Amino acid sequence: MVSRSSLRLGTRGSNLARTQTGHVAAALEAAGCSAELTIITTAGDVNMAPVERIGVGVFTQALREALHDGECDIAVHSFKDLPSAPDPRFRLVVPHRVDPREALIARDGLTLEQLPQGAKVGTSAPRRISQLKALRPDLDIRPLRGNIDTRMGKVHSGELDAVVLAFAGLSRVNLGDQATEVFSPHVFLPAPAQGALALECRADDDAAHSALLQLSDPEATACTTAERAFLAHLEAGCTAPVAAYATADQGNITLCGGVFGLDGTKRLVSSRTAPSHSAEDMGRELAAELLAQGAGEILGSDR
């Protein structure tokens, strides 16, 4: 067992990953635990192919293996990137969640509605592609990978008219004011657990787990539990055209979940409310409801 004089936080090397891990380090230090960053290179950092082609866990598996091998004490993930199946080697804590909504960054300050006919919009996420095509079937959707600056740069250079990014990432690197539109989650559903971080430590590391529990946020934990249970019961990976958004209010969780066809013509969306302690069951039940309505056929045809 390593000394707890300084917890090593495993993170990807992008500006966003280092920034959000820096926020975790600051929170740990405020709670009396010294922390330092350890940079881990993942497959998603070196392979610019579409994420769904590289595989689920492209941004997280290397971090998990580094944690398992003792190269770091805590792995800091964007929760939406984690595979939905739990890994018994680790214990997971969810800290305070930031704004999970989707954002548009467009030329000339345009909104999605104001983009011209046939505008070129960059995104490689099937969930975003399907919802964009449903909202604006005329758009020319272009594949897009890279960090925030790279993606935004394609708009600034004129290569693209707009890109869609998570507002959480923009906000964490102080670029939230660059968004020309931030979508209501009921208009453009975000990824399950978008805006949340997942902090993992080894299952046998009680000291690291005790430190992480000081950062645990019950509402964020319940909401992301519902969203990821919905995703898991659909047997869909984090790159599938599946979206979910949960909110907490007075001990209850309201979950909205959706499954979309990549061509934008198929859409199943429903919601339900249950006590926070039933978050996981509610996620599974909402998924079962959509499966009964044909969600499996939509996902199967896209695969």
Q: Tell me whether residue 30 is exposed, middle or buried, using C-beta atoms within 10 angstroms of its C-beta: 0 to 12, 13 to 18, 19 or more.
A: exposed
Q: Tell me whether residue 207 is exposed, middle or buried, using C-beta atoms within 10 angstroms of its C-beta: 0 to 12, 13 to 18, 19 or more.
A: middle
pLDDT at 49: 46
Q: Kindly state the helix (H) or strand (E) to which residue 69 belongs, with its residue range.
A: none
pLDDT at 107: 98
Residue ranges of the chain that CATH labels 3.40.190.10: 7-95+196-216, 102-182
Q: What is the pLDDT of residues 191-250, one digit of tens each?
A: 999 999 999 999 999 999 999 999 999 999 999 999 999 999 998 766 789 999 999 999
Side chain identity, residue 3: S
Cα–Cα distance measured from residue 160 to residue 219, given in angstroms and rounded to the nearest whole number: 37
pLDDT at 2: 40
CA angle 85, 91, 92 (to 5 degrees): 75
pTM for this prediction: 0.90
Side chain identity, residue 88: P
**Is CATH 3.40.50.720 the classification given to domain 7-95+196-216?**
no
pLDDT at 3: 42
Active site residues: 81
Superfamily of domain 226-302, CATH level 4: Porphobilinogen deaminase, C-terminal domain (3.30.160.40)
Residue ranges of the chain that CATH labels 3.30.160.40: 226-302
Using DSSP's 3-state secondary structure scheme, residue 129 falls into helix
Superfamily of domain 102-182, CATH level 4: Periplasmic binding protein-like II (3.40.190.10)
pLDDT at 111: 98
Side chain identity, residue 160: L
Cα–Cα distance measured from residue 96 to residue 78, given in angstroms and rounded to the nearest whole number: 12
pLDDT at 237: 66
pLDDT at 54: 42
pLDDT at 235: 84
Cα–Cα distance measured from residue 193 to residue 182, given in angstroms and rounded to the nearest whole number: 17
Cα–Cα distance measured from residue 24 to residue 42, given in angstroms and rounded to the nearest whole number: 20
Residues with pLDDT less than 50, the chain: 1-3, 45, 47-49, 51-52, 54-56, 303
